[in-house]
Structure 1
Amino acid sequence: MAGGGGGGDGEPEFQIAPMIDVLLVLLIFFMSITSAQVLRIDKDIKLPVAADAKKKEDKNTMFEAAINVRWIAARQESKIKLDDREMENEEIVNTLTQRKNSNPTYRVVIRGDRDVPAVEIQKVMALIAQSGIDDISFSALNKDS
């Protein structure tokens, strides 16, 4: 009788090669998702501290934009990045409008540097409002690191 690759004693062999293939595919999948999320965050931004900050739910991260607002003290100006690209105001509004039109539940997370003046954050909020998005969150730390 044609067997399932067992020894002469009738016990089946454990096939490890297919299991390794599946594990490698899962590893690559999770690595690609994680790297896409990390690219959206500007590491140079020092987030403000809010004692009551709550951990973000990761279930809707595919349907949100991260706007990084960094303050350049030497020039007294802010630099705005949408996800990982520095953009002008009109380009930000157009991009967010397209995303909002394709997904009505699209949201934006503002990651503002703790040194950014409030008026600069208000300008970013106005850009988001022009695109029709009304679900805005702010990123903060719950303790100073």
Structure 2
Amino acid sequence: MAGGGGSTESGEPEFQIAPMIDVLLVLLIFFMSITSAQVLEIDKDIKLPVAADAKKKDKNAMFETAINVRWIAAKQQSIIKLDSQELDNEAIVNTLTQFKNANAAHRVIIRGDRDVPAVEIQKVMALIAQSGIDDISFSTLNQDG
């Protein structure tokens, strides 16, 4: 038989779009799920301080933990959350030590409320130092919003 322009009788494969859409949807779901895990670490009640000259976060940082420090003015106390879990100081040090032992390049991001006294942030930094982590960043806004 003479070959005719790509019909199914000629034996040439045709491009199937349905499997390609399936693959794209699986990738979309995968990236949405890992992104939402990062978003859950952020405490929406924290009002971050403004630092106009702040540098953007390094996108290549894979191993990082957020510590949220919220100030309760009525009680004059801070609430410390490690990845959205409120833990005592010893548990924070133990958890961060495990992270450091698993990956030497582990980073901690401190998300302190703008009303938190500096002494409270120093206490959090001391906890991080006890765990052996020396890569600490602070989360800020570049404009008041």
Query: Would the TM-score normalized by the shorter structure come out above 0.5?
Result: yes
Q: Once the 2 structures are TM-superposed, how far is the Cα of residue 14 of structure 1 from its aligned partner?
A: 3.1
Deviates more, 1:92-101 or 1:13-22: 13-22
Equivalent residue number for residue 130 of structure 1: 130
Alignment of 1:73-112 (within 5 A): 73-112=73-112
5+ residue gaps, structure 1, are none
Code of the residue aligned with 2:79 in structure 1: it is: K
Supply the distance in 2 between the matched residues of 1:83 and 1:90 (Cα, whole angstroms).
Answer: 15
Which string of whole-angstrom CA distances, capped at 9 and with x for unpartnered residues, describes residues 64-96 of structure 1? 110000001111110000011111100000000
Aligned counterparts of 1:26 and 1:9: Cα–Cα separation in 2 = 34
Equivalent-residue separation in structure 2 for 1:51 and 1:122 (angstroms): 22
- Supply the AA of the counterpart residue of 1:40: E
Q: Tell me how far 1:9 sits from its aligned partner.
A: 8.6
| Counterpart in the other structure of 1:23 | 24
Residue type of the alignment partner of 1:83:
D
Secondary structure class of the residue paired with 1:23 = helix
2-structure distance, mates of 1:126, 1:64: 17
Amino acid at match of 1:23: L
The total of aligned residue pairs comes to: 141
1:33 corresponds to which residue? Answer: 34
Q: Could you tell me the percent identity over the aligned residues?
A: 81
Runs of 4+ in 1 over 2 A off after TM superposition: 5-14
Give 1:110 shift.
0.3
Unpaired segments ≥5 residues, structure 2 = none
Offset, 1:51: 1.0
Alignment of 1:57 onto 2:58: yes
Q: Give distance in 2, aligned partners of 1:130 and 1:9.
A: 71
